[in-house]
Amino acid sequence: MSEKALAHLNEALQHLFTLTGYSDKDPEILASHRETTHQWTETIVQAFYDTLFTYEPTAKIFNEGERPTREQMLRDWYEGLTCGNIDQNWWRHQWFVGLVHVKRGVSNLFLIGMMSRIQQLFLDKCLETLPPDEAKELFGAFKRITDVVTGLIADGYFENYFIALERTVGFKTALIQRMLDMEVNKMLEEWRNTTAA
């Protein structure tokens, strides 16, 4: 990973921690409930892939026979997260998922929709299983961490897309940025003129 990309990632992480209200206490809260939350793994994993495999635009992303490998990946991701095994490398890996998603055509719309689905399932389980105060505390920690993950994957998708473009076309970011700014202004103007009509 280049120094520039690393600096960008650290800054993105800082923004997301501050704005979501994430703290190092959150992984500890998750860890303290891991025996309970690991019993929910299969419900979450099966609901995740049943949703993706029964919706044509997402089903077509997967190759024939790929489901077991993808399920195992989500199981590992969920169990790592709910064990509270969250360090700098783990956060960096989430950013890198954005690049993997670019390669496989997994848009951020799909990512955001499915993270919402996981959060709702997790909330239902918390409310069914725990007294209200504990459910609120556990869900709050899970929500903040998974929202930071969504932000990182989405940012990794956009940023790496841009870096790939820069590397392919050979332009410098500052030049692309100036050209984009001009085009964005034009597009905003067009949009305002159309909506005002």
Note whether 148 and 22 are within 8 A (CB): yes
Q: Which of 9, 13, 111, 141 lies at the binding interface for ligand HEM (CB under 6 A)?
A: 111
Shorter beta-carbon distance to ligand HEM: residue 30 or 97: 97
Q: Which residues contact 140 (CB under 8 A, 6 or more apart)?
A: 26, 29
Q: Which residues contact 86 (CB under 8 A, 6 or more apart)?
A: 27, 80, 145
Q: Which of 17, 53, 77, 161 lies at the binding interface for ligand HEM (CB under 6 A)?
A: 77
Residue 125 CB coordination number (10 Å): 19
Examine residue 102 and tell whether it contacts ligand HEM (CB under 6 A): no
Interface with ligand HEM by CB under 6 A: which range of 18-26, 107-115, 135-143, 165-173? 107-115
Examine residue 115 and tell whether it contacts ligand HEM (CB under 6 A): yes
Examine residue 52 and tell whether it contacts ligand HEM (CB under 6 A): yes
Positive or negative, the CA dihedral 76, 73, 115, 94 is positive
- Closest approach of Cβ 127 to ligand HEM, in Å? 20
Integer Cα distance of 123 and 125 in angstroms: 5
Residues that bind ligand HEM (CB under 6 A): 52, 58, 61, 73, 77, 97, 100-101, 104, 106, 110-111, 114-115, 118, 149
